[in-house]
Amino acid sequence: MRPAIFFDCDGVLNEEPGGHGVLGPNDIRLIPGAGKALRTAREAGYLAIIVTNRAQVAKGFVTLAGLETIFERLRELLARDGGIIDAIYFCPHHPERTPGGAPEFQIVCECRKPGTLLLRRAIADFDIDVGRSALIGDSLRDIGAGRAMGLTSYGVQTGFACRDVERYPDRAPPEPDRMFADVGEAVAFCVAHPWKYGQAGQPD
């Protein structure tokens, strides 16, 4: 079994554009140091896996083919600094029925974070050791999904900076295990403190 670091996409690896989000390849603007962070993770033996909500598909702003061009651009930009992504798992769904959307994707699902289906699929596909793995996100939905799977879950100050408490009006929001300035700082901590992922007998 291998450890992995799960990354959210917008707000973690690339800038959160606001509005309807990333709608095309030209909307991708990397967070400084994101490619290097991925390279650091993989050189330390971690799989680098993206788990991302893509409601733009359900809302009719992006097709599945268009989404692939967005991901291809992201891979290209990250690879310039040696950042290689092992896999991308995405949710194209959204529960709201909106005019002009794609009805087949306007459903309630288990993969839209904080749902855990994306993580469960990745863990099964790659035989991932959850106890030695972590998730890095900028949204409390990311943190909620990670915590539900027993993953150490870190927040970053980029993107939503885990301030989206309005998503939890009826219950206490999940809390990140730690907050970091950005993805580079978060990955550096993961690599420097592997005992945080359940290696018994190591210092806290």
pLDDT for 195: 62
Q: What is the pTM of this model?
A: 0.93
Extract the tokens encoding 51.
């788990």
Q: Which residues are catalytic?
A: 8, 10
Kindly report, residue by residue over 141-196, the tens digit of the pLDDT.
999 999 999 999 999 999 999 999 998 888 899 999 999 999 999 999 999 987 65
pLDDT for 203: 35
pLDDT for 198: 44
Summary mean pLDDT of the chain = 93
Question: How long, in residues, is the chain?
Answer: 204
Domain ranges of the chain: 4-197
* Cα angle: 179, vertex 181, 186; to 5 degrees: 65
> Considering only the top CATH level, what class is 4-197?
alpha beta
Main-chain phi, psi angles of 87, to 5 degrees: -165, 155
Q: Please state, in angstroms and rounded to a whole number, the distance separating the CA atoms of residues 19 and 28.
A: 14
All residues at 6 or more sequence positions from 51 whose CB lies less than 8 Å from its CB, including other chains: 6, 7, 8, 89, 90, 113, 118, 119, 122, 135, 142, 145
| Residues paired with 2 in a beta bridge | 128
